[in-house]
């Protein structure tokens, strides 16, 4: 199996977990948000540390500007992103927020290569447009007021930041290190928010269903998916890896069949076909420079890596 195929499968599996989180997250709608998220990321961090020790992966302490990149990932991709989803849902239909996420491949195909020390590839950018169009078709276009559109924009920026801000730090910390540091930072932030707004006993408001949902989010969507995703980004580069975010709406649609009992409409199948076409066009595109080599070049020119 080629390294490209392995990385692609890792990214696709990670996005499958993310797609499956849509139904699971709904279980936590009435749970104390900050406390639930603090538990999620704390559990994920503990699992990641245990896995790193078992596999003898060395976790490096961040230094210098690395703290800024890692805190940026935690703040944008984990904390603000989750808050934007909750607040945005009060002013916009879920499809609006989903469309914002669907546009992320275009941002990654454009900005990712620049962070990696090379220019965007026309083929990958074209594939990103196809994948994003397919994801929009799958998700549909909902209604939103002005505030909802602002939250949708926030969701888009945060989702893109989750990958782009990791590019400069992946070379030294690797997928495991980036995942560990961002999850403990996010757990700490959510814990502070939870204590301030929900109280120290908010954890008592969580029931058995909440606990199962938190466990799935911590294990599958965070501990496993983070490592798979960042491994894919390091191997394929942010641009090509970004195309695989199109797998998430496919997974969500597939999981929706047994949950709702409804067969996807023709438009959903058309969207899935577009996503698959975009993946075929873009993921197999060869880069002029391997991602790992590009990241090492950043270190040699004193790029403020994490």
**pLDDT given for residue 259 in this prediction:** 61
pLDDT at residue number 290: 42
Give me 251's structure tokens: 């997974």
Q: Quick one: pLDDT at residue 294?
A: 40
What is the arithmetic mean of pLDDT over 241-259?
79
Quick check: 108 pLDDT over 60?
yes
11-15, 184-188, 296-300: least confident range = 296-300
Which segment of 220-234, 240-254, 260-274 scores lowest on mean pLDDT? 260-274
What percent of the chain has a predicted confidence (pLDDT) above 90?
51
Distance (Å, rounded) from C-alpha 256 to C-alpha 293?
41
- Indicate whether 106 pLDDT > 60: yes
Specify the higher pLDDT residue, 96 or 185.
Answer: 185
* Residue 136 pLDDT class (50, 70, 90 cuts): confident
pLDDT classification of 99: cutoffs 50, 70, 90: confident
Residue 189 has pLDDT above 90, yes or no: yes
SS (H, E, C) the chain: CCHHHHHHHHHHHHHHHHHHHHHHHHHHHHCCHHHHHHHHHHHHHHHHHHHHHHCCCCCCCCCCCHHHHHHHHHHHHHHHHHHHHHHHCCCECHHHHHHHHHCHHHHHHHHHHHHCCCCCCHHHHHHHHHHHHHHHHHHCCCCECHHHHHHHHHHHHHHHHHHHCCHHHHHHHHHHHHHHHHHHHHHHHHHHHHHHHCCCCHHHHCCHHHHHHHHHHHHHHHHHHHHHHHHHHHHHCHHHHHHHHHHHHHHHHHHHHHHHCCCCCHHHHHHHHHHHHHHHHHCCCCCCCCHHHHHHHHHHCCCCCC
Could you report the per-residue pLDDT of 140-179, keeping only the tens digit for each? 777 888 898 899 999 999 999 999 999 999 999 999 999 9
Instruction: Name the one residue in this structure whose structure tokens are 């970004």.
Output: 242
Across residues 95-110, what is the average pLDDT? 87
pLDDT value for 120: 85
Q: Which band of pLDDT confidence, cut at 50, 70 and 90, is reported for residue 191? A: very high
Residue 141's pLDDT is 75
Report whether pLDDT(22) > 80. Answer: no
| pLDDT tens digit sequence for 263-298 | 777 777 888 888 888 888 887 666 544 444 443 333
What is the average pLDDT across 7-14? 90
Cα 102 to Cα 96: distance, rounded to the nearest angstrom: 10
- Please report, for the chain, the start and end positions of each structural domain, with discontinuous segments joined by +: 3-300
Q: Does the pLDDT at position 199 exceed 80?
A: yes
Mean pLDDT of the chain: 85
The arithmetic mean of pLDDT across residues 47-54, rounded, is: 96
- Indicate if the alpha-carbon torsion angle 190, 84, 12, 69 is positive or negative: negative
More confident call, 297 vs 49: 49
Instruction: Say what the pLDDT of residue 261 is.
Output: 65
- Is residue 303's pLDDT more than 60? no
């Amino acid at each position: 199996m080629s390294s490209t195929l392995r990385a692609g499968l890792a990214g696709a599996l990670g996005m499958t977990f993310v797609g499956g989180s849509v139904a699971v997250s709904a279980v936590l709608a009435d749970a104390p948000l900050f406390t639930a998220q603090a538990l999620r990321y704390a559990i994920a961090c503990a699992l990641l540390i245990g896995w790193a020790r078992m596999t003898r992966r060395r976790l490096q302490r961040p230094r210098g500007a690395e703290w800024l990149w890692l805190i940026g990932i935690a703040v944008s991709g984990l904390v603000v992103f989750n808050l934007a989803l909750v607040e945005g849902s009060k002013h916009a239909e879920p499809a609006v927020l989903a469309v914002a996420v669907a546009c992320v491949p275009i941002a990654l195909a454009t900005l990712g290569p620049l962070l990696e020390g090379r220019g965007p590839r026309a083929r990958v950018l074209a594939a990103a447009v196809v994948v994003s169009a397919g994801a929009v078709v799958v998700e549909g276009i909902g209604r939103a007021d002005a505030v909802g559109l602002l939250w949708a924009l926030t969701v888009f920026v945060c989702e893109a930041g989750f990958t782009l801000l990791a590019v400069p730090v992946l070379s030294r910390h690797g997928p495991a290190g980036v995942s560990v540091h961002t999850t403990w930072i996010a757990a700490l932030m959510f814990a502070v928010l939870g204590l301030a707004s929900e109280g120290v006993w908010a954890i008592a408001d969580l029931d058995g269903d909440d606990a199962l949902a938190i466990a799935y989010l911590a294990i599958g969507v965070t501990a496993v998916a983070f490592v798979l995703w960042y491994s894919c980004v390091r191997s394929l580069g942010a641009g090509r890896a970004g195309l695989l975010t199109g797998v998430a709406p496919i997974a969500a649609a597939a999981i929706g069949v047994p949950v709702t009992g409804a067969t996807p409409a023709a438009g959903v199948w058309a969207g899935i076909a577009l996503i698959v076409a975009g993946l075929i066009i873009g993921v197999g595109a060869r880069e002029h420079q391997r991602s790992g080599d590009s990241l090492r070049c950043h270190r040699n020119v004193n790029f403020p890596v994490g």
